[in-house]
Chains A and B, each alone.
Chain A
C-alpha cells in the first residue's frame, strides 16, 4: 500500500466504518423487531406453543433436524412438517410415538423419547405454529 494511505487513515476507517455499520445493524434490528408482529404468527403463541418450544429444546431436536433451515442436516426439515403431514397434528404425534426403541437395522431412526401426552400435544402445536410463520415462501416445496 502506498505512502499516501497512512495508518491513521486505516484506523479511522476501521473505527468509523465498524461503528457506523454496527449502529446500522442495531437500527435495522430494532425496525425488524417492530415489524415482526405482521410476520411471526405471534397471535397464536400460546402457553402450549411455548411448552412445545421447550420440549423441542430439551430433547435437542435440532441436533438432527433443521427448523427453518437451521440445525443439523441429518433428518428432515420440520418447519413445514405440519403441512407435509397433511395439516395433521395427530400424524406428527403418531410418528413420534411409533419410533422403535432400538432403532431400525442399518437405517437412521429417530430415538423414542417417551413423551407424555401433554408434551406430544405441545410439540405438535409448536410445529404447527412454525409452519404458519411468514418465511418469504421458504421452503421451496412441501418436501422441505
Chain B
C-alpha cells in the first residue's frame, strides 16, 4: 500500500462481503420458496425475500465499486485521498441507511413501509430494483454526491490517467442515471420506458466503464504490461460497450407499448452487445500471456481471467440467446431471463469486485503483495466452487426456462403458469442444490481470509518492476 488513505477501502470491502453473504442467504430462501411454496409464509413472503436479495446485490456491488475506487484513485493519481474522513463518514451513513432499509423490508408489510416513509409525497417505490423508500433514494444521492466530490477533488490535484478518467465517467454516469428513479409518471408505458434508463443504462452502460477501469488497473498491476497498451484496449472496450449498449436499451422496448421500430433497433444493437465482453476476455488473456512478471498473487490473476470469461458467457452468450425480438417474444420474462441475469451479474460485476478485493486485500492487511500460498489455494477453491455452481444454476434455470416457454407459450395447448411451474419443479430443486454449493464456495472464500502461512513475496527482480 503506497498511500495511507487507501486503507479506507478495507471497511468497504468487508461490508461488501458481509452483504454478499446476506444476498446469498435470501437467494436460497427464494429458491426454496419456488419448490416449497409456503416456506416462511406469511412471515417472509417471496416479494420481500426478492427485494432483499436484489437490493443487497446492488448495495454490496456499490460498496465494492466505492472501495475499489478508494483503493485505485490514490495510486493512480499519485496523491493521498482528498478526505479519508469524509470517505469513512459516508461509509457509515450508507451502511446504516442500507441496513435500516433491509430491516424495514423485513419488519413491516411493504405497504406499511411506504406509508411510514412518506411515499405519498413523492411516490417512487414498488418498481423492480427501485423498491427502496424515497428517503433511502435521497440518501443514496447524497452519499453519491459526497463520494464523487471526494474522488473528484483527489483526481483534480493528482496525476490524470485514462483509468481514473474512465472510472470517474462511469461513476458520474451511475449517479446521473439514478436520478431517473425519481421519475414515476402515472402512465405505465412512460414509467417502464424511463425505468430502463436506470436499470439498463447502469448494467449495460456506465457500470461497464467501472468494470473496464478496475480490470485494466488490476491487469497493469499483476502483469506489468505497459500502461499504453492497456489503456488503448480499455478505450476500445468501453467504446464498444457504449456503442452497442446505448441503443441496446431497445431490447427492453419490444413489448411494453413502445413503437415497432424498437424491434429492429433493439435486436441489431443488442446482438452486438457480446462484442465488448468478448474483447474483455481477449484482453485479459492477452495481457496475462504478455506479462512481464510473475505476480505472487496468482489468485487475483485467476479472478481477472474469470471475470472476462464469465462476463462473456453470462452477459454476452446468455444475453444473445434471447435478445432477438422473435426469440424474445417467447422468452420475455421467463426463467431464461433469470438464467441470464444470474450469470451476467456474477460474471461481470460480482467477479470484478472480487478481483479487486483479491488484489488489494493483502496490501490492506499490511502484506507486500500477496497472501500465503495456502490462503491463495483456499481462495481458489472458493473461486471454483462459486463459479462452477453459478454455471450450474444458470444451466438449470435455462432448462426450466426452455420447458416453461414451450409448455406455456409455444405448444399447441398452452398451459397455465402455475401448472407449468409444477412440471418444471425438478429444475428448481437442482438450482437450489447448486445454490447451496455456491454458499459453500462463499464460505470457503471467506475462510481463505483467515488462513495463515508465510506470505508469497515478489522476487527481487520483480520488485523493480512494481511502480
Which chain A positions have C-beta within 8 A of B110?
58-60, 63
A18 touches B262 (CB 8 A): no
A133 touches B243 (CB 8 A): no
A53 touches B188 (CB 8 A): yes
Tell whether A25 pairs with B257 under 8 Å between CB atoms, given A1-B232, A76-B417, A108-B418: no
Apart from A69-B255, A111-B45, what 4 extra A-B contacts exist at CB < 8 Å? A13-B236, A31-B259, A63-B45, A101-B42
A33 touches B190 (CB 8 A): yes
| Proximity string of chain A (29-46) to chain B, C-beta cutoff 8 Å, 1 when within and 0 when not | 101110110011110010
Which chain B positions have C-beta within 8 A of A71?
128, 333
B258 within 8 A of A: yes
| Distance A49 CA – B111 CA, assembled complex (angstroms) | 18
B123 touches A54 (CB 8 A): yes
Which chain B positions have C-beta within 8 A of A50?
186
B280 within 8 A of A: no
Which chain B positions have C-beta within 8 A of A140?
329-330, 409-410, 414
Tell whether A22 pairs with B242 under 8 Å between CB atoms, given A63-B51, A104-B37: yes
A73 touches B338 (CB 8 A): yes
What total of chain A residues lie within 8 Å of the partner, measured CB to CB?
76
| Proximity string of chain A (55-79) to chain B, C-beta cutoff 8 Å, 1 when within and 0 when not | 0111111111011111111111100
Interface-central residue, A22, A60, A70, by most chain B CB under 10 Å: A60
| Distance A61 CA – B34 CA, assembled complex (angstroms) | 17
Binding site for B on A (CB under 8 A): 1, 5-7, 10-11, 13-14, 17-18, 21-22, 24-25, 28-29, 31-33, 35-36, 39-42, 45, 49-50, 53-54, 56-64, 66-77, 101-109, 111, 113, 129-130, 133-144
B38 within 8 A of A: yes
Min CB distance, A128 to chain B, in Å? 12
B110-137 with Cβ < 8 A to chain A: 110-111, 114-115, 119, 123, 125-128, 131
B33 within 8 A of A: yes
Determine which of A32, A106, A129, A139 lies in contact with B259 in the assembled complex, contact meaning CB atoms within 8 Å.
A32
